[in-house]
Structure 1
Amino acid sequence: MPAELQFPRSDSRPEASRSTVAGLALATASWCARQGWPVHPLAPGSKAPAANCRGCRMNPHSPRACRCLSAGRWCHGFHAATLDQHRIQQWWGQHPQFGIGVSCGPAGLLVVDIDAHPAQPPTRDRILPGIPIADHVDLTGLANGFHTFAVLAALRGQPSPANDETTLRVRTPSGGMHVWYRVTDNRRWQSSVGSSSGRALAWQVDIRANGSYIIAPGTTTSHGTYTAIGKARTPAPLPTWLAQELQRTGHQPAPHVPAPRPVPPRAQQAVSAASGSGRGQYTLATILAPVEACGQVTEGAGFSDTLNRAAYTLGGLIASGRLPHAESVQALQAAATAARPGQEHRIEQIIRSGLTAGLDKPLRTSGRRP
């Protein structure tokens, strides 16, 4: 048990072993696993995972297809993370110089990695992505992730997580901080690097969650030791306001969006029969196309307005006898539901409103709103 971490003591281990480096590393890895945090070895003195075996290095392949993992080897970094105490005993017992990595996703952890690297701040639009900072705001003194995270928290009327004494916080050798939180729902938060072109929370503030690992406190690298600070030794639940910010900044995977559904065969047949040619089918497809295009993005795209216009146009064409009523509405509902699954009630309301208005204004030309 690393005394400086005050982790629960494993009574099965001789007290003498706790004074050795091997005992400290092994006890920490074992304790992490008992918390439900899968662990994997880090290369001695490094933040990087222990090297793959020669076979894996010579023949790159997916971790899922690797036999090394089932054989109890540590190839492929956090993909090899385990809760198996026997394997942990083997890894750190035979290699006491290994550091300890914790696989965040399977552990149900989200860790905020606050950096304190001396660097020139980026442009204002990348300091707090998604939150504009006006030119008149004085940014003098803003130098690292502690500052940007504090600004974000202050904007939300919250204290900075860097000062959250209710959760495990770890000081890094570079002067930064890891703030550990526990995910209490089933959301699979995604990792990020602060101010990146993709998802980002704040400049010099990274997120370690699914698809990444965090260094366990007590691990020593060539730059120093990761040291727990304060009294808390376990992660607190992820604060609601921070979860909202993570959701705002794209740290949740995009939900699966089905490909836009084609016009149902029944509707196609009805349209063709009503028009006596393929013109009616072409007209309907033209109306549905903008709605189907909204399905290529998970949000935005003016979906409500697009659907309302399509329903309005459809109503006008139905009123003029150019399209059949029931089959055409069915086709629009199918296209809208494919674009925004799970929003059937909202879709029905929008279609009903637009259709009612369109039926009062018969159209003599297709695809245009008067």
Structure 2
Amino acid sequence: MNTHVRDRSGNRNRRPSHRVKEEPVPVHSENLPPGVSGGTALDVASWLAGRGYPVHPLAPGAKTPAPNCPDCRSGGHPAQDCPCHALGRWCHGFHAATTDLRTLRAWWETEPGFGIGVACGPAGLVVIDVDAHAEQLPDRQRLLPGIPIDDRVDLTGLQSGFDTLALLAAYRSRPNPCEDTSTLRVRTPSGGMHIWYRAPRGGPSLRCSSGSSPKVALAWQVDVRAVGGYIVAPTTRTAAGVYEPLPGARVPAALPLWLIAELARTGHTVEVPVAPSDAPVAPSRPRGAKTTPKGGQRLLTGLLDEVRACGASPSGTAFSEKLNRAAFTAGGLAAAGHLTGPEARRLLLEAADHARPHQPRRNVLIVEAGLRAGSDRPIHPKERP
């Protein structure tokens, strides 16, 4: 494999004296109306709130939250229990985010220069944050965590998160998210890109990460903004420049299944109770098809054996990657009619629970994401004579 990667250029906290009453949120059009894209920060914040996205103020000219009140700056209580929120104050960043228009109006009337942050978790958003920082290239095995990059792969020109995300997409034979015009994309003042997606409903909850993290990362110089984080809203102006919406959709599309699988593989799932579905991952197999033909059984058995073998060590065995690969393959076999969805889940979870019996919820999340992603690519294994 000889892949050439090219560079892509692509403080005041005024306190209302009364509890703020909830005001109905208006329904806005699907696309940013002309008056909003060129309007005030309050216009944009109200439009986002109208879509159900809780927002909070950012410090004027910065991408960090507006400062806390003196009481909160001194600490002494967790953000979730802060009494300021019930009084309509903006303390603790995204923990104060709201869709209430009266609260938003009070905030931006206090400081019209506030920027806008969106709390990703409550908004149901997953944002892929692509960086373009001038940094020294790490070891090639740090570029795509969990994916060995052969020494024969030519990495000439690889300089940023644009390149590593394109490389990940190429490895998975998927479209490059940076070129996904079906979803909202925002150019950042530093030359990076925010790719907004809707988080999967009923699927795994996903958490934030930094592309430089040695533990949880999607790709080098590619951050993830999700549960536990916020994202700077389009049209926000900082000292470095403006967050500009790019041509294409003005609203987030659903997070692609292959990215869900990759985020699960790289440890971005948050452990929450999730019951596996009884529905098949693909249409029922063609009439007369065998449940597990020899080729399909042989292919899946080998992958399941790799998953079970991870039980020999509690870490360092690439368990998530191997389980995701097995689930992806099982999804493809099910889509081609070689086994049923329930049977695929049973086999996968038996192997996963054997290797990692202490994390059944996480096992379910990885299996579900892999099955969904694999169901888009039916597999028809060739039989050996």
TM-score (normalizing by structure 2)? 0.63
Q: Deviations over 1:157-210 (max 9, x none)?
A: 111100000000000000000000011313210110014111111000000000
Percent of residue pairs bearing the same amino acid type:
54
1:225 aligns with one of 242, 251, 258: 242
SS where residue 67 of structure 1 aligns? coil
Q: Does the CA contact (< 8 Å) of 2:31 and 2:251 recur in 1?
A: no
How do 1:167-316 residues align onto structure 2 when only pairs under 5 Å count?
167-186=183-202, 187-254=204-271
1:72 aligns with one of 84, 88, 94: 88
SS where residue 148 of structure 1 aligns? helix
AA aligned to 2:99 is L
1:118 aligns with one of 108, 125, 134: 134
Which residue does 1:7 correspond to in 2?
32
Which residue does 1:273 correspond to in 2?
none
AA aligned to 1:238 is L
Which residue does 1:350 correspond to in 2?
none
Question: In 2 relative to 1, CA 294–31 (structure 1 residues): closer, same or farther, beyond 3 Å?
Answer: farther
SS where residue 100 of structure 1 aligns? strand
SS where residue 207 of structure 1 aligns? strand
AA aligned to 2:183 is T
Quote the RMSD (CA, aligned, Å).
2.9
2:146 aligns with one of 130, 134, 142: 130
Matches of 2:256 and 2:95 in 1, distance apart?
Answer: 28
CA drift of 1:64 comes to 2.1
CA drift of 1:45 comes to 0.2
Matches of 1:183 and 1:147 in 2, distance apart?
Answer: 24
**Larger gyration radius, structure 1 or structure 2:** 1
Matches of 2:357 and 2:148 in 1, distance apart?
Answer: 34
Q: Does the CA contact (< 8 Å) of 1:167 and 1:236 recur in 2?
A: yes
AA aligned to 2:164 is T
Q: Does the CA contact (< 8 Å) of 2:205 and 2:272 recur in 1?
A: no
Q: Does the CA contact (< 8 Å) of 2:144 and 2:168 recur in 1?
A: yes
SS where residue 206 of structure 1 aligns? strand
Q: Does the CA contact (< 8 Å) of 1:129 and 1:195 recur in 2?
A: no
CA drift of 1:253 comes to 2.1
Q: Does the CA contact (< 8 Å) of 1:192 and 1:251 recur in 2?
A: yes
Q: Deviations over 1:25-76 (max 9, x none)?
A: 0010000001110000000000100000011112342012211111100000
SS where residue 88 of structure 1 aligns? helix
AA aligned to 1:253 is V
Question: In 2 relative to 1, CA 336–194 (structure 1 residues): closer, same or farther, beyond 3 Å?
Answer: closer
Q: Does the CA contact (< 8 Å) of 1:296 and 1:339 recur in 2?
A: no
AA aligned to 2:159 is A
Matches of 2:181 and 2:53 in 1, distance apart?
Answer: 21
Which residue does 1:37 correspond to in 2?
53
AA aligned to 1:157 is S
Q: Does the CA contact (< 8 Å) of 1:128 and 1:195 recur in 2?
A: no
Which residue does 2:43 correspond to in 1?
27
CA drift of 1:255 comes to 5.8
SS where residue 139 of structure 1 aligns? coil
Question: In 2 relative to 1, CA 69–146 (structure 1 residues): closer, same or farther, beyond 3 Å?
Answer: same
Matches of 1:142 and 1:296 in 2, distance apart?
Answer: 34
Aligned residues between the structures: 261
Matches of 1:294 and 1:152 in 2, distance apart?
Answer: 29
Q: Deviations over 1:311-348 (max 9, x none)?
A: xxxxxxxxxxxxxxxxxxxxxxxx999746589xxxxx
Q: Find out whether 1:158 has 2:174 as its counterpart.
A: yes
Which residue does 2:69 correspond to in 1?
53
Q: Which has the higher contact order (CA 8 A, sep 6+)?
A: 2
**Unaligned ranges ≥5, structure 1:** 10-14, 257-292, 302-334, 344-370
CA drift of 1:94 comes to 2.4
Q: Deviations over 1:266-295 (max 9, x none)?
A: xxxxxxxxxxxxxxxxxxxxxxxxxxx999
AA aligned to 2:230 is Y
Q: Does the CA contact (< 8 Å) of 1:116 and 1:145 recur in 2?
A: yes
Which residue does 2:294 correspond to in 1?
none
AA aligned to 1:167 is T
CA drift of 1:138 comes to 1.7
Which residue does 1:94 correspond to in 2?
110
Which residue does 1:279 correspond to in 2?
none
Q: Does the CA contact (< 8 Å) of 2:125 and 2:226 recur in 1?
A: yes
SS where residue 29 of structure 1 aligns? helix
